């Protein structure tokens, strides 16, 4: 059966009959409808075996020249490039009593077939009329009619790690059919189900494994939406700064710039802009990072506060609970005392919650002024607004790494949508380590029947994916949520390396030697290398160490907004593991894996809490490992789980 999406370009009265005919074709055929108006050469564009094509249209009467104009211009363009024209099958409703003119009879590239005949054995006519094309023509046709499926070669890791020139002029990449369907998900048809009409907006979810092309899908969908609807506004909202900078760099360097009706922002940029709009351009200073927060936090989490002394919890647990109140939009003390804290990892009695709320009131008082505002607090304030008229509204909002968005974040996204707008979510539930696992329904997104899964990873190799997946097997919270990768057709490569050291200093020295060897002996371009580090390292200090080894200007610290501004291309990318989601690179080094393994051991937790902390560490390491395209090296001062060792090459110090 042919691969087929909805055929909305045909009259409703014939769609079902056309689908019956097309379904009789083999699965080597792909039935598509052009998305953009300028690409609508025909109602149906059929791709067949051996890179063959056929245009198909339905007409009430013999097609006139106006109806065929786009097809004729397209074939003229093919001929001007020395390519073979593509035939057009016109299915006509009326009986063919029309007597063709001599000019029409001479046109061997158009074939007229009456509707009854097409319904009986149209698949035979289709096979006979296919036009095979060489690779160069195939690429041109697909990129011209379906530009939303094309990938610039510099925007993908689907190539060897080398200095070979793989620019688009030499090598063309396209989304696979599942990725293409995800990109076009419901963009061709008006959603008219009674269930959808009950909601004030539509939502679509793409669940995909690491490297399945979710970011490419978001970029291509954003471009396609903005081209198709130049009068509408779109927002691409992203979890972290490194990915945002990387996407903006792709647009500027290789994609001809972002559309004028598209905004690309981190969530916190977006939230700050919305705060500014509702407060009459009043600027506030967000308290980002420990340096800004710690002095104020220390005034609250201290022994002079009785509520603090009554809690037998770590400072980390208390602070995460205070943030939790904001992120889950808990309005008052009574609601908090009765709230089901599912997935929190540690229990709290009602008496303990009373003390937590008193500390929370201190946080609100100390950290909600324009001179210093806790981000989770002003996001909560925005998400609880009853009057949303002051917010900037968008027709279409696309969310990257949605599994890391807190309920308050998702609420603000919904509130920033016009009535009957659309939200498009991309997520990898296997990575869910930053926020407690939630159901989409619990945060107001009805994704049942509106979800597509992507199981195949293009980014990484079989060996890397198997090793990474071994880490998280058995710890998934919800089997329905877990996306198992399709390993059968994955590209083969070399096993990942684990290099053990006794001390962090030894680890860093070994890393710098390996990095230097990679750049000089293996001749790997700097832009194809990424370095990820755990909390044992400061990206700022590590950047100095790398530049002392390789030279000035060889690395960009993606955690430093000043460094990444207009400064990404042609350099090694360095960042913390916590900010690497959505990133990718041909060669990836991961430092401080031992620190991740030690986190659960170093905290005063009971057995259940320690197990949850260990699972979070394993997910972080999984994310870091799956950033790698072809080669991966892990550095650790602690032994990784034994089950991983059979899938990697182990070297360095003995830690037994």
Pairing of strands 173-174, 150-151: antiparallel
Question: What residue ranges do the domains of the chain occupy?
Answer: 3-145, 182-187+199-280+389-454, 290-373, 462-652
Higher pLDDT, 22 or 615: 22
> Could you tell me where the beta strands, DSSP code E, fall in 485-559?
497-500, 529-533, 555-557
* DSSP string of 118-139, one letter each residue: HHHHHHHHHHHH-EE--HHHHH
Pairing of strands 52-59, 131-132: antiparallel
The annotation status of 211 as a binding-site residue, yes or no, is yes
Residue pair 172/139 in contact by the 8 Å Cβ criterion: yes
DSSP code of residue 212: S
The annotation status of 623 as a binding-site residue, yes or no, is no
Length of the chain: 656
The annotation status of 372 as a binding-site residue, yes or no, is no
* Residue 198 pLDDT greater than 70, yes or no: no
CA distance 181 to 4: 10
Mean pLDDT of all residues in the chain? 89
Helix 214-228 to helix 241-254 angle, to the nearest 10 degrees?
A: 60
Q: What is the pLDDT of residue 390?
A: 95
CA distance 211 to 455: 9
Burial class (CB in 10 A: 0-12, 13-18, 19+), 542: buried
| Residue 467 parent element (H or E) | helix 462-472
Mean pLDDT value across residues 456-480: 82
Q: List the one residue out of 622, 568, 634, 586 whose CA is nearest residue 242.
A: 568
The annotation status of 209 as a binding-site residue, yes or no, is yes
The annotation status of 551 as a binding-site residue, yes or no, is no
Q: What is the pLDDT of residue 170?
A: 45
Q: List the one residue out of 360, 406, 357, 353 whose CA is nearest residue 383.
A: 406
* Residue 266 pLDDT greater than 80, yes or no: yes
CA distance 267 to 409: 8
The annotation status of 241 as a binding-site residue, yes or no, is no
* Other CB atoms within 10 A of residue 294 CB: 12
Q: Looking at the DSSP assignment, which residues form a beta bridge with residue 373?
A: 286, 368
The annotation status of 212 as a binding-site residue, yes or no, is yes
Q: Do domains 182-187+199-280+389-454 and 462-652 have the same CATH topology?
A: yes
Mean pLDDT value across residues 245-252: 89
Residues 567-586: tens digit of each pLDDT:
777 899 999 999 998 899 99
Residues 19-31: tens digit of each pLDDT:
999 999 999 999 9
Instruction: Give the 3-state secondary structure of residue 77.
Output: helix
CATH architecture for residues 3-145: 3-Layer(aba) Sandwich (3.40)
| Residue given tokens 């609807």 in the structure block | 229
Output the six-digit token pair for 184: 């076009």
| Residue given tokens 């607090």 in the structure block | 377
pLDDT band at 217 (very low <50, low <70, confident <90, very high): very high
- Residue 332, CB-side half-sphere exposure with 13 Å CA sphere: 1
Instruction: Give the 3-state secondary structure of residue 215.
Output: helix
Quick one: residue 83, left, alpha or beta (phi over 0 = left, psi -120 to 50 = alpha)? beta
Instruction: Give the 3-state secondary structure of residue 420.
Output: strand
Q: What is the pLDDT of residue 169?
A: 43
Which percentage of the chain shows pLDDT scores above 70? 91
pLDDT band at 316 (very low <50, low <70, confident <90, very high): confident
Q: Looking at the DSSP assignment, which residues form a beta bridge with residue 500?
A: 636, 652
CA distance 317 to 353: 13
* Residue 532 pLDDT greater than 80, yes or no: yes
Q: Looking at the DSSP assignment, which residues form a beta bridge with residue 530?
A: 573, 588
CA angle 199, 200, 202 (to 5 degrees): 70
Mean pLDDT value across residues 455-463: 93
CA distance 395 to 418: 6
* Residue 133 pLDDT greater than 50, yes or no: yes
The CATH classification number of 182-187+199-280+389-454 equals 3.40.50.300
| Residue given tokens 């005034």 in the structure block | 299
> Could you tell me where the beta strands, DSSP code E, fall in 38-101?
44-48, 52-59, 88-92
Range 169-176 contact pairs with CB under 8 angstroms and sequence separation of 24 or more:
172/139, 172/143, 174/142, 174/143, 174/149, 174/150, 175/149, 175/150, 175/151, 175/213, 175/216, 175/217, 175/220, 176/213, 176/456, 176/458
String of b and e for 308-317 (b: at least 16 CB within 10 Å)?
beebebeeeb
**Of the options 2.30.30.240, 3.40.50.720, 3.40.50.300, 3.30.70.920, the CATH number for the domain spanning 462-652:** 3.40.50.300
Residues 596-605: tens digit of each pLDDT:
888 777 656 6
pLDDT band at 357 (very low <50, low <70, confident <90, very high): very high
The annotation status of 213 as a binding-site residue, yes or no, is yes
Output the six-digit token pair for 248: 């903006």
Quick one: residue 78, left, alpha or beta (phi over 0 = left, psi -120 to 50 = alpha)? alpha
* Residue 166 pLDDT greater than 50, yes or no: no
Q: List the one residue out of 372, 138, 378 whose CA is nearest residue 272.
A: 378
CA distance 79 to 73: 10
Q: List the one residue out of 390, 412, 374 whose CA is nearest residue 267.
A: 412
CA distance 31 to 556: 44
Output the six-digit token pair for 84: 């073979």
Residue pair 637/502 in contact by the 8 Å Cβ criterion: yes
């Amino acid at each position: 059966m042919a691969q087929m999406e909805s055929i909305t370009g045909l009259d409703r009265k014939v769609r079902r009959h056309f689908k019956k005919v097309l379904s009789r074709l083999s699965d080597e055929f792909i039935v598509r409808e052009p998305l953009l108006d300028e690409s609508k050469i025909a109602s149906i564009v059929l791709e067949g075996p051996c890179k063959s094509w056929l245009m198909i249209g339905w007409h009430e009467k013999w097609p006139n020249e106006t109806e065929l104009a786009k097809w004729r211009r397209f074939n003229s363009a093919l001929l001007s490039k020395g390519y073979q024209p593509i035939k057009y099958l016109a299915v006509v409703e009326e009986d063919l009593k029309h007597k063709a003119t001599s000019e029409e009879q001479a046109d061997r590239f158009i074939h007229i077939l009456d509707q009854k005949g097409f319904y009986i054995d149209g698949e035979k006519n289709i096979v006979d009329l296919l036009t095979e094309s060489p690779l160069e023509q195939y690429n041109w046709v697909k990129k011209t009619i379906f530009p939303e499926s094309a990938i610039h070669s510099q925007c993908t890791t689907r190539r060897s790690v080398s200095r070979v020139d793989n620019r688009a002029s030499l090598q063309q990449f396209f989304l696979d059919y599942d990725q293409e369907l995800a990109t076009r998900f419901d963009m061709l048809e008006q959603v008219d189900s009674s269930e959808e009409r009950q909601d004030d907006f539509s939502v679509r979810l793409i669940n995909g494994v690491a490297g399945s092309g979710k970011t490419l899908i978001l970029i291509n969908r954003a471009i396609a939406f903005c081209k198709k609807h130049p009068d509408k506004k779109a927002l691409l909202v992203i979890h972290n700064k490194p990915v945002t900078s990387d996407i903006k760099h792709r647009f500027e360097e290789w994609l001809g710039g972002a559309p004028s009706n598209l905004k690309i922002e981190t969530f916190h940029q977006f939230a700050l802009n919305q705060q500014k709009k509702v407060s009459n351009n009043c600027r506030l200073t967000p308290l980002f990072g420990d340096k800004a927060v710690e002095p104020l936090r220390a005034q609250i989490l201290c022994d002079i506060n009785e509520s603090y002394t009554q809690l037998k919890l770590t400072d980390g647990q208390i602070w995460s609970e205070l943030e939790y109140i904001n992120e889950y939009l808990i309005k008052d003390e009574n609601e908090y005392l009765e709230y089901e804290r599912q997935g929190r990892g540690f229990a709290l009695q009602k008496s303990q919650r009373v003390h937590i709320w008193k500390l929370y009131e201190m946080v609100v008082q100390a950290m909600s002024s324009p001179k210093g505002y806790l981000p989770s607090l002003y996001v909560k304030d925005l998400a609880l607004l009853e009057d949303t008229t002051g917010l900037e509204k968008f027709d279409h909002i696309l969310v990257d790494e949605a599994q890391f968005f807190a309920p308050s974040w998702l609420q603000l996204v919904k509130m920033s949508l016009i009535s009957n707008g659309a939200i498009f979510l991309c997520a990898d539930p296997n990575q869910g380590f930053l926020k407690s696992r939630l159901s989409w329904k619990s945060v107001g997104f009805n994704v049942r029947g509106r979800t597509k899964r992507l199981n195949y990873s293009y980014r990484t190799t079989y060996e890397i994916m198997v090793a990474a997946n071994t880490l998280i097997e058995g710890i998934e919270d919800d089997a329905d949520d877990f996306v198992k990768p399709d390993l059968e057709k994955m590209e083969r490569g070399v096993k990942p390396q684990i290099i053990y050291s006794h001390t962090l200093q030894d680890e860093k020295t070994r890393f710098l030697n390996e990095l230097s060897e990679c750049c000089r002996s293996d001749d790997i371009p700097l832009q194809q290398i990424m370095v990820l580090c755990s909390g044992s390292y400061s990206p700022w200090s590590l950047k100095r160490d790398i530049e002392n080894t390789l030279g000035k200007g060889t690395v960009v610290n993606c955690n430093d907004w000043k460094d990444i501004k207009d400064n990404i291309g042609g350099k090694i990318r360095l960042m913390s593991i916590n900010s690497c989601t959505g990133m990718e690179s041909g060669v990836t080094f991961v430092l401080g894996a031992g620190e991740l393994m030690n986190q659960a051991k170093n905290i005063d937790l009971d057995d259940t809490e320690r197990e949850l902390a260990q699972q979070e560490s394993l997910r972080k390491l999984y994310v870091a490992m799956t950033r790698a395209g072809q080669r991966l090296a892990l550095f650790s001062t602690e032994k990784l789980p034994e089950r991983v060792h059979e899938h990697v090459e182990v070297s360095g110090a003995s830690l037994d």
